[in-house]
Structure 1
Amino acid sequence: MWGQRLATEGVGALVAYLHAQDVRVVTAETATDNPASGRVLSKLGFRPVGTGHSDEDSPLILWAHDAT
């Protein structure tokens, strides 16, 4: 089921819903060793805003999507 845009569509619908509920900024975190998730967020207009760390996923990229 890889490459069927399911993640992009699902995350896009969630982001649209949240912005419709007056959420101004939606944030996300992706593991640095998971570039596919970063591509999904980039396609949807998320921008990297920093880095972080989790015990589970180690280094993280922090993302934000502002309401337009």
Structure 2
Amino acid sequence: MPPQIGSFISEAVYDDLLESNPLHPVTTERMACHFINIPSQEQRHGTSWKVSHLNSVARS
């Protein structure tokens, strides 16, 4: 995982225990990750979660 993304995930989810590959950086030539803020909530649907904003993500 690129270190620019891996360090965020490591800190937010894995108590800084996740290590990334320093030889696999994200270059400025292309966007490797894009976060979209969509105000909504997941809803329980049987044994899974129904994500109401999938269409918004697919259009991005």
Q: Per the shorter chain, which TM-score range?
A: under 0.3
- Which structure shows the higher helix fraction? 1
Normalising to structure 1: TM-score of the pair? 0.22
TM-score by structure 2 length?
0.24
| Higher share of residues assigned strand | 1
